[in-house]
Structure 1
């Protein structure tokens, strides 16, 4: 059993400088690798232009409601995921918070590896180092990938990956060490405009390539028959859910750094629709370029392989760059955008861990950042070897498709149904924001979203149990895949038993429950 925490309250939190700083940081978290390499392929394979219908429905009925839920929890209860959820739901809530923190730590292990690859390819672009065989270069000469069935884990280090991996960790930790405003906010305020300008330049150039219109036609032509397929709707909810950075502590943490009097839902709408706009922009740019590749090879867009994930980014797109005039610049724009988008997302992921251990153990920011060195070391061992791609692929499958989805389901059920705090949180958002929420928001958050997400996670678990994954060894999937979920569960059980450095329950809610009952207008 834990000893009684010290009587001092948890110290006041750092704060964003204002609305703009928060929006830039939240957009930086939401706009990540999935916007560029996942959305275009998912949309194309799920009905083309018709996919925008379930995508919009998913955004309105699950994405924005759960985003608002994270904002409400973080802003009202003023803490990292474990602290805010403890103040809302006691030790049960704290356990959910630690589950989210461990999931973030696991994601950080492999996410930095992708940044290292993108940074390397940014440099490779200027000489088109990948040559004519882009797949052979990526998996062979560059990553030196081991056999996933025979040798899923090795300690054969690859210097070409190891060096940029270390550099990415150094850059990320330096930014985080500088603090919320001078580090996280400043980095996002600089990076997000650069990302948008660079990617817009890439899209404009792609639109004027031969065959670009064929690519856009393939991307936007609606297949309305696909809407009868439940899998298309699940794909839409999945894309929205993963791209908004909800349900794994990020937006709870970021919202806790907002001032008491802050417009939460207005900012949330900007973040949600800004994220979706960037995804559509990415689809236009990617499929314009794919149309060009198909034109150059004399094949149809349907015949182009590798339209999503790392293969799109590190195999298909280099092949496109090699075919176009001035391709080196296009490659630099693409991989520069990929690096910047991934960096801002990684910063937000690790900030979840830093905020949690600061709150729990009373550490300074510097001490917390130093503690992240443990994750960095594990990341280097996992991703800097010939088995790095296999580790990334496996941990990503389990943490994203099971861990995060399960976290969302449990959080919504505990907050809305077990602790019955939905009405209070709705009134809190309405009291401090210009855009009001009420019963409909509680319905979407507590009923629609968990039902859809439960179906998603059951289907994924069934698929992984019966079919395995990518032919990888069963023992390896048990350790790296299911082991990741077990580790998060252990964190949820054990860490709430550890003594808090300061008393987490000494806290005054604002607006108070009495104020929420009598307030009709906003408290801005």
Structure 2
């Protein structure tokens, strides 16, 4: 069996963990979530959620990976045998699904980085995205053939990811993050500096930061804070367990978790300033309220931001290119971390070389991702993303915490392990958060999600009750949504049934206490 890879430096690990946490959602999701949930007041539940769920779970996953020195399935197996191993595989297959469509969004950002220089999107930015770029099919569920303009950059994304992952942990992932993360920070700082100097920027920042304290009495705002923290920090993806397994035996786990958590939050705050300063400028130019132009997700990045770039008085192309380049960099660091979960899992389980695992894992993911480069790709992506996120990550997190805290009762073991090597000592607060606060909040979230999706009680923009998510047909929801979430669970059970290679299990490179 190959000797387990290891980070070259502590900074290399922290940059990689931050690179995983800082992704597309930090830029196009957090600002709007904060805005619609109380503005400046949202930072109170956000910080509370970070300290009572985000960082505690980070510490738990860092400790698990570091103690058991393995991928997520191997770490769970070493912790409590076959009855726990399936959780690690579940996280891995959720990550696998996400990697297939996440790469396509990065490909879009690559295209738009180039489009920025001559403002190729014209004045009708929505029409350009859905027509010229995506050539979107009329009916969800129809593939409709490849879109060459998406297929080519998608292949480039996979080539970059393959080169980084093939080079290994120290010479590939660590080196890439040492380059990408500082570059991302500098690039996005330039975006923010330009945005805050635009006319109307103060209007946008006022909308973003102005506190609506009445929102603090709304339990859905607190749930939104926990939900965002949970999805933002790359927990329950199997990523942080895998990354921490490459740490040296003497590593300050608790401190690393705090640094990762606060670094991620710092970038989100920076993103909020840049995005809402730009939205304030757009609202001023259109003589409308910020609420009329504020949005999130694909619409914000590929429709609204090109409109903002169009209206800018100078340096339009450069501003646009820097913004979309930041999406590319944030996306690549996250994609690499997502892929690393199944590369490590397959390598550990079947005792094959890392390079062979990269070829198999990345190759299969790249092939499946071609579906999202078709004319119907956006519909497939939307459904898969919604269901794999809501019924994959949130469910794994809930079950993971309940099993470790209440069934396997490993929190005391993890506390002792972390305290032996960390400057910041864990105590009752950490165990209380994982035993009570996190399960209750995640359980409430899952109950609400199941109620919405099983009873089909979605609401449209005007508050009217509609059927399935985005009004999709039952057939499309089942084939492209529920089936994806179910696949991750079934695949996890199947891989758990396979026997571990004896060389893997006989390795003594972990703490058996």
TM-score, normalised via structure 2 length: 0.96
1:451 paired to 2:440: yes
Query: Are the structure 2 counterparts of residues 180 and 303 from structure 1 closer, same or farther at C-alpha, using a change threshold of 3 Å?
Result: same
Report matched runs for 1:294-309 at 5 Å.
Answer: 294-305=283-294, 307-309=295-297
1:141 paired to 2:132: yes
Aligned to 1:265: 254
3-state SS of paired residue (1:152) = coil
Deviation at 1:504, TM superposition (A): 4.4
Aligned to 1:131: 122
Aligned to 2:479: 479
**Could you list the runs of 5+ residues in structure 2 that have no partner in the other structure?**
457-467
1:337 paired to 2:318: no
Residue by residue over 1:184-204, the C-alpha shift from the partner in whole angstroms, topping out at 9 and shown as x without a partner, is: 000000000000000001101
C-alpha distance in 2, partners of 1:47/1:53? 10
Which residue of 27, 43, 51 corresponds with 1:60? 51
Which residue of 123, 135, 151 corresponds with 1:162? 151
1:399 paired to 2:375: no
C-alpha distance in 1, partners of 2:293/2:475? 34
Which residue of 307, 311, 320 corresponds with 1:319? 307
C-alpha distance in 2, partners of 1:110/1:89? 33
Aligned to 1:46: 37
Query: Are the structure 2 counterparts of residues 92 and 418 from structure 1 closer, same or farther at C-alpha, using a change threshold of 3 Å?
Result: same
C-alpha distance in 1, partners of 2:311/2:141? 34
1:374 paired to 2:376: no
C-alpha RMSD of the superposition: 1.2
Deviation at 1:54, TM superposition (A): 0.4
Residue by residue over 1:102-148, the C-alpha shift from the partner in whole angstroms, topping out at 9 and shown as x without a partner, is: 0000000110010000000000000111100011111111111123x
C-alpha distance in 2, partners of 1:509/1:432? 17
The answer to whether the Cα contact below 8 Å between 1:152 and 1:473 also exists between their aligned partners in 2 is no
The answer to whether the Cα contact below 8 Å between 2:136 and 2:376 also exists between their aligned partners in 1 is yes
Aligned to 1:106: 97
C-alpha distance in 2, partners of 1:173/1:165? 12
The answer to whether the Cα contact below 8 Å between 1:360 and 1:502 also exists between their aligned partners in 2 is no
What count of residue pairs does the alignment treat as equivalent?
A: 500
C-alpha distance in 1, partners of 2:44/2:252? 29
Residue by residue over 1:288-341, the C-alpha shift from the partner in whole angstroms, topping out at 9 and shown as x without a partner, is: 000000111111112215x11010000000000011021100001100000000
Deviation at 1:160, TM superposition (A): 0.6
Aligned to 1:489: 489
C-alpha distance in 2, partners of 1:269/1:188? 19
C-alpha distance in 1, partners of 2:100/2:142? 15
C-alpha distance in 2, partners of 1:310/1:45? 17
The answer to whether the Cα contact below 8 Å between 1:76 and 1:509 also exists between their aligned partners in 2 is no
C-alpha distance in 2, partners of 1:503/1:463? 47
Q: Which moved more, 1:124-133 or 1:455-464?
A: 455-464
